[in-house]
Amino acid sequence: MAKYRNKLPQLGDGLYITDGGVETTLIFHEGLELPDFAAFHLLKTPEGEAALRKYFRTYAEIAKRFGTGLILESATWRANADWGTRLGYMPEALANANCRAIHLLEEIRDEYETDQTPMVISGCLGPRGDGYVPDRAMSEQEAETYHQAQVETLAGSAADMVCAITMNYVEEARGIVRAAQQVDMPVAISFTVETDGNLPSGQSLKTAIEQVDEATSGYPCYYMINCAHPTHFDHVVAEGGLWLDRIRGLRANASHKSHAELNESPEFDSGNPVELGAQYARLKERLARLTVMGGCCGTDHRHVEQIAEACSPLFRTAT
């Protein structure tokens, strides 16, 4: 049963960490195979489920140590129709995988949650196409129809909210919000930006957020920025403006490299965790409503630890 759906605690003043790059950790640190970067596929075996459980426990321990809240983001970024079909999932099996991913997080929450470390379960949605390139652009209506099944499945689970991560054009984001509205599910939208601070579509982050809000009467609980290094977008937030109050979350990349450079790089780039933590602290000065902090490509528990170390003194307690 959803615990926080009617009142998401991260909309308050406390710090809520979330995880790093789940695929990064599972592939490069744990040596696991993730076809199409589909972490949910691990739920097919006891060994895979154990790897996911170990992964989320790591972040629960960090939240407990620093006295922060925690957003438990489900491993369902690829668990939508097209990607599921590529992996051999029929609709019922895909729905079951989404539900199992949420149930795993329920067990983590039951094990670790305290009054000092509230834990929100978020059902992760990913793009229909590539996370870096808007290569399968849909209309808003097409996107709503496409994502409806996964949103409805997650709404029928114990998930407190859904979060659409690596959105790279505005129509898909709007469609997801429409699908969430239909089932009264809280939703956050996380946009990917390039090295110039704009979406891969070329649209500015400011305009993208404003267009989603205008089309949906401001339905998203908040917005996030992910899959980019802070140096790629700090000049955007430095410009100021009331629209920045809609940004509550960051999941930055470890590397300074562009998406194209990361795709072509023969070496794994984990960046500098200490530097990243300091950059988050500086961004908090410009993003007054920022409460959700985690990582994306190249990051792991070391980066999130440094983020918590640098930023927890800037916040009230999570409760």
Point out the annotated binding site for Zn(2+).
Answer: 227, 296-297
Q: Contact at 8 Å (CB) between 173 and 126? A: no
Closest CA relative to residue 297, chosen from 54, 154, 265 = 265
How would you classify residue 128: left for phi > 0, otherwise alpha for psi between -120 and 50, otherwise beta?
alpha
What is the dihedral angle through the alpha carbons of 39, 58, 311, 269, rounded to the nearest 10 degrees? -50
Q: Would you state the torsion angle of the CA atoms of residues 66, 68, 69, 71, taken in this order, to the nearest 10 degrees?
A: -60
Q: Cα angle at 20 between 268 and 53, to 5 degrees?
A: 110
| Range 2-6, long-range pairs (CB < 8 A, 24+ positions) | 2/121, 2/157, 2/158, 2/159, 2/160, 3/109, 3/121, 3/158, 3/160, 4/118, 4/120, 4/121, 4/160, 4/161, 5/159, 5/160, 5/161, 5/185, 5/186
Which residue positions form the known binding site? Answer: 227, 296-297
* Distance from C-alpha of 194 to C-alpha of 87, rounded to nearest angstrom: 29
- Helices H, strands E: what count in the chain? 11, 8
Parallel/antiparallel/unpaired status of strands 222-226 and 119-125: unpaired
At 71, phi and psi to the nearest 5? -95, 115
